[in-house]
Amino acid sequence: MTETKPDDAGRRLPVGALIALAVGAACLWASSRMTWVEVTSFDGLGEERTTELLGSTWFGALTPLALALVAAIAAVFALRGWLRRILGVIVALIGCAAMVPPVALLAGSGPTRDRAAALAELPGRAEVTAMQTYTLPAVLAVIGGALAFVAGVLLTRKPPAAPTLSAKYDAPAARRADATRQVAEADAAEPGAESGQLSERTLWDALDAGEDPTTGRDDGPANRG
């Protein structure tokens, strides 16, 4: 029977962390392609102009963070042990960093007219007349960051020891070995002892082990000298 090697636990892939990384990276990437803030401006000469600021513009690190999570997926396959746990810490920090700007946006403390005008590259004479923020892209970014944080926590956990393939046979084998030992001890202590002194379970375990507990024993009063 083939058994699992002791270091197999370190080689097993953390499926939950990989799924969280993949979904988190997808959420961050999708959020970076969506409009976070819409700016309406007027320069005093023509009509009002509307400028859409994507997530990658409002939060410039959003796309690099999504790519970093993709790179972390590849790193999980290459790293084991404490190196993988260090990777988990880095991924958790990435998740926290990814959540800060969208949380600020949702809380109403993120967007300012001056920042919106700078990101929209409005001319100096233009004035921001209206600004609208969109909730869905920010929520998506928060979800992506949270999933990255969860993936990082999962990667920092020490994997449990992998059970061997023959683990389910250990208990019966141990019982048979113990039964054989009990039979041998009974023979040594009292060669003429009855097999009935041994429990029925012990007798069956001994038989399974190839040991006949009745050999050389006097089974009844009629055979006793």
Best CA proximity match to 87, nearest among 69, 62, 113: 69
Residues sharing a CB contact under 8 Å with residue 120, sequence separation 6 or more, in sequence order: 39, 41, 51, 53
- How far apart are alpha carbons 225 and 222 in whole angstroms? 8
Best CA proximity match to 141, nearest among 66, 88, 90, 52: 66
Beta bridge partners of 53: 37
Sign of CA dihedral 196, 199, 204, 206: negative
Q: Please list the ranges in the chain whose pLDDT falls under 70.
A: 1-11, 109-111, 158-225
pLDDT tens track for 1-13: 444 444 454 457 8
Strand 35-42's sheet: what is its strand order?
A: 49-54, 35-42, 127-133
What's the pLDDT at 124? 73
pLDDT tens track for 191-225: 544 444 555 656 666 666 666 656 554 444 444 44
What's the pLDDT at 224? 45
What's the pLDDT at 171? 60
Look up the pTM and report it.
Answer: 0.65
